[in-house]
Amino acid sequence: MNNLSLSQKLYFYLVSLYKWYLRTPQRSLDEAYQAALQIKGIEDEHFHGNQINLDFTINSSVSGYFAADLRKNLKIVRMRLTEFNSSRFFLNESNQQTMEKYAVNLPNAQEVLEKLQFIDVITSKYTNLDNFHSSVQVNPPVNSQLSTTPNKLNITKTSALNPEAKNSNILPGNKASKTGILPRSILTTISRLQIELDPKSEEDVVQKFRMTQRRTIISIRFVLLLIIVPILTHQLSKAIFVGPLVDHFHQSATAEIFINQEMEEEALQDLQRFEERLRFQNLLGITAPLSAEEIETSISEKANEIAKEYRIEGAGAIKNVFSDICSVLAVVIFLVLSKREIAIFKDFIDSIVYGLSDSAKAFIIILFTDIFVGFHSPHGWEVLLEGVSRHWGLPASHNVIFLFIATFPVILDTIFKYWIFRYLNRISPSAVATYHNMNE
């Protein structure tokens, strides 16, 4: 294998990668089947072959432990079956002939049906598990909290999300907004006493804390994966297949050392500074006296060195383009498969944002608007766009950058103002008043 040429190594690598692709349906089905076997093993070992009990009121610690394993295995089954169906869709007759050519065993149809039937039998018991997961979202959006029945759960949620809701006016048409026989404060006190005297109130508090804790853990894990997935995909794709392919074709091309004119101008400036420094040191006698031929030789060596550096930098820019595409695809797939986590994360952010004080909300709004649309933000946008263009090997056109700076921050500022006027002014008018006072 070490004696093979680079093109032969690349051919064997592509063949092995294609074999791996052809085995995708069978591999996905096997992983889904193994996950279903894990669920069946838990049922047989701990629940006497019955459905896994997820009743937290009986034994919350044990139920939480098995619920985590069940959720993990069901997610594996769902992802692998999706991968199985999509990969079978792209395997046509020519692919099957290629599988026979490369000695890739075709999956037995009877075996596939048996595994799919077993998976369906196991997972059909937990079709209502999404309703169980949705209970993790403790705090609904603020608009849904203005219910017509002021029960004890709505009182605690509303006060947790928005402390101003206790003293603010309810929407017109709500039963609570009508004038009653007794003052509203007395009714609120009576409701609070009912909650405190309820023997199940302690269980409700513990259950709410566990759900809030689980929501926080899921949200933090979602944010970390949202950061790690694109970075890891970028590095792996760049190291495994994008890098070798670009190096092979870029080095074999007789071509172009510079992928844009800006890089060529920078290289010429570097060579010119080296030549001037070399002649200056030679005239002052700082270095050993050099003849004209020796100076030309040094300049030629430096030119080759600069050309090598910029060839590597150009290849790196091309790698960044394809690696970033792979990262974007990975993020899109991750977001598509994380709909439940997105809903939980949205609820988590709502509980944090609406739980802030008016001054904190105004401070955050002013901070973001000054950074992205303030009078000094054009310099930041210019540095950011030049860095992006350098990352992708594009020439930094100042006309395009100035046009972007003249339009995008204005659009962003309009969106900020519309959000403040349309939503924040309705949800928290005092925060808007604090914002205007601080901004003045």
pLDDT tens digit sequence for 228-237: 999 999 999 9
| pLDDT higher than 50, residue 133 | no
Residue 216 maps to a domain: no
The whole-angstrom separation of Cα 333 and Cα 432 is 38
Residues 397 and 415 in one domain: yes
Percent of the chain with pLDDT over 70: 71
Residues 287 and 310 in one domain: yes
Residue 159 maps to a domain: yes
- Specify the pLDDT at position 176: 42
The whole-angstrom separation of Cα 152 and Cα 192 is 8
Residues 237 and 335 in one domain: yes
Question: In terms of pTM, does the model score above 0.75?
Answer: no
Number of domains in the chain: 4
- Specify the pLDDT at position 283: 81
pLDDT band at 204 (very low <50, low <70, confident <90, very high): confident
Residues 180 and 237 in one domain: no
Residue 1 maps to a domain: no
pLDDT band at 180 (very low <50, low <70, confident <90, very high): low
The whole-angstrom separation of Cα 200 and Cα 115 is 45
Residue 248 tokens, joined: 């092979």
The whole-angstrom separation of Cα 83 and Cα 271 is 53
Contact 434, 362 (CB under 8 A): yes
**Longest alpha-carbon distance in the chain:** 107
Residues 334 and 407 in one domain: no
What integer is the mean pLDDT of 200-224? 84
Q: What is the 3-state secondary structure (H, E, C) of 170-234?
A: CCCCCHHHCCCCCCHHHHHHHHHHHHHHCCCHHHHHHHHHHHHHHHHHHHHHHHHHHHHHHHHHH
| pLDDT higher than 80, residue 43 | yes
What are the pLDDT digits (tens) for 372-419? 887 778 888 888 888 888 888 888 778 888 888 888 888 988 888 888
Percent of the chain with pLDDT over 90: 9
Query: What stretches of 253-394 show up as alpha helix (H) in DSSP?
Result: 261-284, 292-336, 339-353, 358-373, 377-392
- Specify the pLDDT at position 137: 40
Residue with tokens 């820019």: 317
Residue 205 maps to a domain: no
Residues 162 and 240 in one domain: no
Find the domain containing 296 and state its range.
233-339
Residue 391 maps to a domain: yes
Residues 129 and 146 in one domain: no
| pLDDT higher than 70, residue 196 | no
Q: What share of the chain is helix, strand, coil (3-state, %, to 5)?
A: 80, 0, 20
Q: How far is CA 290 from CA 42, 271, 278, 299, 303, in A?
A: 82, 18, 9, 12, 18
Residue 395 maps to a domain: yes
Residues 146 and 130 in one domain: no
Tell me which of 37-46, 97-106, 149-158, 245-254 is least confident: 149-158
Give the distance, in angstroms, between the CA of residue 203 and the centroid of all CA atoms in the same chain.
35
Residues 375 and 331 in one domain: no
The 3-state DSSP class for residue 232 equals helix
* Range with the largest mean pLDDT of 3-7, 150-154, 170-174, 343-347: 343-347
Q: What is the mean pLDDT of the chain?
A: 75
- Specify the pLDDT at position 179: 53
| pLDDT higher than 90, residue 224 | yes
The 3-state DSSP class for residue 397 equals coil
Contact 349, 220 (CB under 8 A): no
Q: How far is CA 210 from CA 56, 61, 142, 399, 408, in A?
A: 10, 11, 21, 55, 43
Contact 70, 42 (CB under 8 A): yes
Residues 300 and 243 in one domain: yes
What integer is the mean pLDDT of 2-21? 65
More confident residue, 412 or 17: 412
Residues 11 and 130 in one domain: yes
Contact 73, 38 (CB under 8 A): yes
What integer is the mean pLDDT of 126-147? 46
The whole-angstrom separation of Cα 414 and Cα 251 is 48
Residue 283 maps to a domain: yes
Residues 187 and 259 in one domain: no
* Range with the largest mean pLDDT of 159-168, 188-197, 379-388, 389-398: 379-388
Contact 385, 404 (CB under 8 A): yes
| pLDDT higher than 60, residue 140 | no
Residue 350 maps to a domain: no
